Amino acid sequence: MARGGQTRMPLLEVRDLHLDYQAGDRVVHAVDGVSFTIARRGEALGIVGESGSGKSSLANALIRLLPKNAIRYDGAILLDGRDLMALSDEAFRREIRWRRMAMVFQGAMNVLNPVLKIGDQIAEPMLLDERLNKRQARAKVESLLERVGLGREFYGRYPHELSGGQKQRVVIATALALDPDLLILDEPTSALDVSVQAQIMNLLKDLKADPGISMIFITHDIGLASDLCDEIAVAYAGEFVETGPADRILVAPRHPYTALLLASLPRLHGDRPPSPMPGEPPDPTHLPEGCRFHPRCPWRFAPCLRHPPEIPVEGGGFARCWLNDPAVAGDRFGAPLLVAAATP
């Protein structure tokens, strides 16, 4: 662990995080040994993966909001070097959640309280926090409303008077109420159309630059993640299968799943049709042996029946794929992962 200088200390460091659920008589390893760091203020990490890969579970594990059937929750979560796992639930609630790490929940814009003025909804965490009185809270809410591009006149409005994009701005303002250092956004634009999505992304880019909020941005769309994020982590069946700088991942993915995610996006220019993702996501209670992606992987070869570790790759980050281990991959090592063009 880096001691000493603030500059060296990562904002967030997560090591070997696990979250298991009891599902009937079986166990779901929703977060299965995930490690990553967010090095500095204003850095955004994009977590990308299909439904069921464990993205929301990871977010909930970070902010310690666990369902009743969680049966394993361990690993290290260090915020500014301080181990959050050592905190009691009460201390976590008082000192960390919303104050240091805030979250925009998946679908939150659809569950705004319909009978509460939006200004009062945003003020709620401030008043619970008891550091501001009512008048100070109101002034703060007004400045937040302006910060998220709504304007203070929205204070007295009700959710039904707002468009989808405006509701999502309210949710973001609520998350910002206690000036967190880290904002976790779980699919914040999935219910919005491309135009409104672009407006929300503009807002997130602004907040990232000033006041320099760090972000964990969760999405199933790797293109969208790359629009905001410096680093990308690709989640599959509870694990990160690839991480690295977005600039590297977009041009040189080193895990087949990442390459296939990129190839599945329709491109604006050129006539190469997008390629469908092969196969179906695995059954979370019966994960495949070895590489969890192997039943769907066009590149699989004999070694894939063993579970690959995180293998560092050129350009930064790692890929959990045997193709990146020269001793295992042989002459397959280092070949670009080219996805066959789909037959239209």
Partner 1 sequence: MSSRTLPAPSAPVSPDGRERPLVALDDVSVAFQTRTGLFRMGEVRAVNGVSLAIARAETLGLVGESGSGKTTVGRVSLRLIEPASGRVFFDGIDITKTPEHDLGWLRKRAQIVFQDPFSSLNPYMRVIDLVEEPLVIDGVHGKAERWDRARRALEDVDLVPAGRWATRYPTAMSGGQRQRVGIARALVRDPDYIVADEPVSMIDASSRIEILQLLRGLQTGRGVAFLYITHDIASARHFADRIAVMYQGSLVEVGASGQVIDQPLHPYTRSLIAAVPEPDPANRFRRRAVGGVAQAAGEIVHPDCPHGPDRANEPALLLPFTSDPAHLVACHVEAPHGR
Ligand X SMILES: Nc1ncnc2c1ncn2[C@@H]1O[C@H](COP(=O)(O)OP(=O)(O)O)[C@@H](O)[C@H]1O
- Site residues (CB under 8 A) for partner 1? 50-51, 163-164, 193-199, 201-202, 205, 220-224, 226-228, 246-247, 250-251, 260-262, 264-269, 271, 273-277, 280-281, 342, 344
Kindly indicate which of the ranges 48-56, 118-126, 145-153, 258-266 contains the residues binding ligand X, using the contact rule CB under 6 A.
48-56
For Mg ion, which is the closer residue by CB, 188 or 303?
188
State in angstroms the smallest separation of the CB of 35 from ligand SF4. Answer: 19
For ligand X, which is the closer residue by CB, 142 or 186?
186
320 is an interface residue for ligand X by CB under 6 A? no
State in angstroms the smallest separation of the CB of 178 from Mg ion. Answer: 24
State in angstroms the smallest separation of the CB of 49 from Mg ion. Answer: 9
Binders of ligand X among residues 275 to 304 (CB under 6 A) are 284
The mark string for 22-41 relative to ligand X (x by CB under 6 A, - otherwise) is -x----x-x-----------
Kindly indicate which of the ranges 56-64, 92-100, 232-240, 247-255 contains the residues binding Mg ion, using the contact rule CB under 5 A.
56-64
Rule CB under 5 A: choose which of 53, 56, 168, 258 binds Mg ion: 56
Residue 291 partner contact from partner 1, Mg ion, ligand SF4, none using kind-dependent CB cut-offs of 5 to 8 Å: ligand SF4
User: What is the SS3 string spanning the chain?
Assistant: CCCCCCCCCCCEEEEEEEEEEEECCEEEEEEEEEEEEECCCCCEEEEECCCCCCHHHHHHHHCCCCCCCEEEEEEEEEECCEEHHHCCHHHHHHHHECCCEEEECCCHHHHCCCCCCHHHHHHHHHHHHCCCCHHHHHHHHHHHHHHCCCCHHHCCCCHHHCCHHHHHHHHHHHHCCCCCCEEEEECCCCCCCHHHHHHHHHHHHHHHHCCCCEEEEEECCHHHHHHHCCEEEEEECCEEEEEEEHHHHHHCCCCHHHHHHHHCCCCCCCCCCCCCCCCCCCCCCCCCCCCCCHHHCCCCCHHHHCCCCCEECCCCCEECCHHHCHHHHHHHCCCCCCCCCCCC
Kindly indicate which of the ranges 54-62, 72-80, 90-98, 151-159 contains the residues binding ligand X, using the contact rule CB under 6 A.
54-62
Site residues (vs ligand X, CB under 6 A): 21, 23, 28, 30, 49, 51-57, 67, 69, 284
Site residues (vs Mg ion, CB under 5 A): 55-56, 106
